[in-house]
Amino acid sequence: MIRRLCATVSQKASRLCPRVSLTMKPQVVFVLGGPGAGKGTQCSKIVEHYNYTHLSAGDLLREEQARQGSECGQLIANYIKEGKIVPVHITIQLLWKAMQQTMEKDEKMFHFLIDGFPRNEDNLQGWNSTMDEKALVKFVLFFDCDSEVCIGRCLERGKSSGRTDDNRESLEKRIKTYLMSTRPIVELYEKLGKVRSVDASRSVEEVFTDVKAIFDKEG
């Protein structure tokens, strides 16, 4: 009875009674930027310094694509190669499952970096209709990087990544998707005062200095 009661008390109560074990509402930072802007690289560094779990929507989709018996494996493969955005119900299901698994293992791990999401209107609508109640979006970390720099980095990564989309043809499509579909989402969050922007065209360490300043302040 007491356990059940504790599990449902609000986060506010946790500050009053910190020793009681609570199920916390997941706190989310969306991480956006062009392909190759350095989202994954910077997320790994954030995880080293702060109590966050990194969930890359792209990585989860690639995993699902490779999973034996996956019903949507072929669909995901086609979308990725074409640089298109997979229907949101697939992506949200993977993200929510990964969030739940993380919190089931350790209830203190309720801070998430959701990398590469929401990438278009469909992603955003899907999140708002199914996740708005379940999780709190703290801010959007935006890695601002010139398209040419992004393409150069992805082509370099393509020498060893084995990714089907790190080639010039796919990259042109991915950049187009980014400019047409993802940038408007960033702009939308900007209007809400939720975007924390970093110049991502500099070295990994220089970028991370700015990222650290953001997380020290509000992470």
- Residue ranges that bind ligand ADP, judged by CB under 6 A: 33, 35-41, 153, 156-157, 203-204, 207
CA angle, 208 as apex, 63 and 62 as ends, to 5°? 10
CA dist 37 and 58 (Å) reads 14
Torsion sign over Cα 29, 33, 36, 37:
negative
Total of chain residues touching ligand C5P, rule CB under 6 A: 18
The interface region with Mg ion, picked from 6-14, 35-43, 153-161, 174-182 by CB under 5 A, is 35-43
Binding status of residue 38 toward ligand C5P by CB under 6 A: no
Q: What is the DSSP string of 51-83?
A: S-EEEEHHHHHHHHHHSTT-TTHHHHHHHHHTT
Tell me whether residue 40 or residue 73 sits nearer to Mg ion (CB atom): 40
Which entry of Mg ion, ligand ADP, ligand C5P, none binds 80, CB below 5 to 8 A by partner kind? ligand C5P
Binding status of residue 116 toward ligand C5P by CB under 6 A: yes
What residues contact residue 172 under an 8 Å CB cut-off, 6+ apart? 83
Among 40, 82, 136, 181, binds Mg ion (CB under 5 A): 40
In one-letter notation, the amino acid at residue 141 is L
> Which residues are at the interface with ligand C5P (CB under 6 A)?
35, 56-58, 61, 79-80, 83-86, 91, 116-117, 119, 123, 165, 174
> Which residues are at the interface with Mg ion (CB under 5 A)?
39-40
